[in-house]
Structure formats: C-alpha cells, structure tokens
Structure 1
Amino acid sequence: MGQFSMEKPPSTGSLLSGNQQKNRNRHGGREMFIPVVDKLAAALEPLDRSKGGTVLKNAYGTSFSEKSLTGMMQHWTRQAGIPDGYTLHGLRRTFGTYLAECNIQARAIMEAMGHSSMTVTDEYVREANKKRIAVDIARAINQREEKRDQMKRRTNLRIVR
C-alpha cells in the first residue's frame, strides 16, 4: 500500500506523495505524487494528520497496515449499504479509468498510477477510447437520423395556391 503524506507546494494545490509498496522487491517501490483535487482537500482538511500526515488511522492512532485497511474498507462499505465486492484496488482502477476518460495523457496516467511500464496504463486508455468511439458513433447516427427526419417532414409540406 505505502505511506503517503500530504504536501502543499506553492500555487500548485495539494499532493499526496509516497512510495508505492507494490512490487517494491522487483522495482524498489515507485515514488508517487497524486494530485488532490479541491473537493478532496476540503474533505481532508478537518482530519487530524499530526502523526506523519496519515489521514486514515486505526484505533491506536497509527496508519493502517495493508491487510487491516482492506478489512476496514469491507466494514465501511457494509456500513454504507454498499454491496460486497467494492475494494481498495477497485478504487485504484476507478482512478485510472477516470483519468483516461478525462483524456489525460497516457504517460501522466502511468506516473499517477505508479506503473513501471505503459502496458497496464494502455489498458485504461484503450477502454476509455472504446467508450469514446461508441459515444461518437451513436451521436453521429442520431444526428444523421435527425437530419433524415427533418428532410421527410419538409417533403410532406406542399404549398397550395
């Protein structure tokens, strides 16, 4: 999972930064900088980050281990009435998908997600492009059909003198 701290560089907004624990034995862990959008920064503001910038703390006031945070995620989703199956990894995938759907450059997505190569990142971009193409096709068909319908309506009108 990794330890992330929140920083506020001048005039750039807030960032979560830390070293990714995934694949740390193979790649040494990748340093990540994740932008914190204004809505998230406002939600995090009242939380106590006095011990190392940790936002989510366990009952002992320390950061969660990966295993305990996964268990708490399951507990929180049940409390919220959310069906089983929503996971921290699912939130991560949602983040990558959202970035791709916002048309963020693939390299930027790779860096934000902490991927060590473009292979996985390309999946996010391909899926977003498929959706974008399907929407564009549907829009084009609807526009063409609307024009056809307008032409049919015009031909039915006759001016009689």
Structure 2
Amino acid sequence: MEWDDLVFEEIELFDGSLEVIEAFDFRQKKNRNRHGGREMFIPIVDKLAQALAPLDRSKGGTVLKTAYGRPFAEKSLTGMMAHWNKQAGIPEGYTLHGLRRTFGTYLAECNIQARAIMEAMGHSSMTVTDEYVREANKKRIAVDIARAINEREAKRDAMKQRAALRVVK
C-alpha cells in the first residue's frame, strides 16, 4: 500500500447517514496477472490510525519502508516480520500469512457475513472464506453444547435436591 492510496471519502452508511471515512483505496497486486488485481477499500480503524500516526508521509511511496527508505521486497518483509516478532518476544513461526488468517478468523468470530469477509480479504471465491466461517462456527457450536450440558446438569442436580416422594395409602 502506498500513501497516495490513502483517501478521505464521503460514504452513505446503511442507516442513511453520511460519514467521511479515511481509507486505503487501491488495486491489490495479488493475482494481478490473472484477474487484474482486486479493488480494495480498507477503512482506517482507530488502532491502525494510531499505528500510522508517527510514520513519515511526506516522502510518499509505500507505507512500510526499509531502513533505506525503499519498499520492502516480499522476502525482506517476511524476514523483518521474524525480526519484529523476536523483538516483541513473540515465538518463532508467526508469519505475515498467519496475520492474514488471523484477520479472516477475527472477522468470522465478529459474526461478519461471509461475503463481506471475502471482500475484505480480497478472495476471488468463497472457498477460503468458508474455512474461516466454519472455524468460527465450530467454536460457537462447542460453546452452545457446553452451555446446554451445564443447564441440563443444573436441572438434574436441582431434581436430586428435592425431597423423595412418599407414597401414602
């Protein structure tokens, strides 16, 4: 993403209100040879705004730059991710792709519709998106099952605490 991709756009929301949104608006480079790249519109959430605030925007170019002020190559960004993880005390094995998967899972766990997740992730089909939704639903189902068991056991325990019935002749 480049600083030139950062835009302020007036958007009419579902409730009919108008809001000026700061967002990155760009064409994804992934699959650009096959599909021409997917058009992406990524609104800036509060935590991202805080992370971007101290960065120097005056020189333009890519948002993340090397120490030499150049864009990261894919492999060098992967290496920097490992370096940043080490600096932060994060165990080895956490990757940029893992962050991407975490984002998809997070959206599914927030109960975002599958189609919206597909758009946010830039997927060209629902196949991968469905994995995120299935995983989130598995967790929800497991929690529902645990709650049902707890309720049933509480009812059974309450029944045991009642006095035994006596048959009177």
The bucket for the TM-score relative to the shorter chain is: 0.7 to 0.9
Asked if 2 retains the 8 angstrom alpha-carbon contact of 1:106 and 1:122, the reply is yes
| Residue identity (%) | 76
- Structural RMSD (CA): 2.2
Q: Which of 20, 37, 52 is residue 60 of structure 2 equivalent to?
A: 52
Alignment of 1:67-78 (within 5 A): 67-78=75-86
Look up the match of 1:99. 107
Look up the match of 2:92. 84
Task: Describe the superposition over 1:116-157 as per-residue Cα deviations: whole angstroms up to 9, x where unpaired.
Answer: 11111111111111111111111111122122222323x149
TM-score by length of 1: 0.85
- Secondary structure, counterpart of 2:9 in structure 1: coil
Q: Does 1:108 align with 2:116?
A: yes
Q: C-alpha displacement at 1:30, in angstroms?
A: 0.9
Distance (Å, rounded) in 2 between the aligned partners of 1:81 and 1:38: 25
Distance (Å, rounded) in 1 between the aligned partners of 2:25 and 2:139: 31
TM-score by length of 2: 0.81
Q: Which amino acid aligns with 1:33?
A: F
Look up the match of 1:37. 45
Asked if 2 retains the 8 angstrom alpha-carbon contact of 1:6 and 1:53, the reply is no
Unaligned runs of 5+ in 2: 11-18, 165-169
Look up the match of 1:123. 131
Task: Describe the superposition over 1:49-108 as per-residue Cα deviations: whole angstroms up to 9, x where unpaired.
Answer: 223363322112233222211111111111222111111110000000000111101111
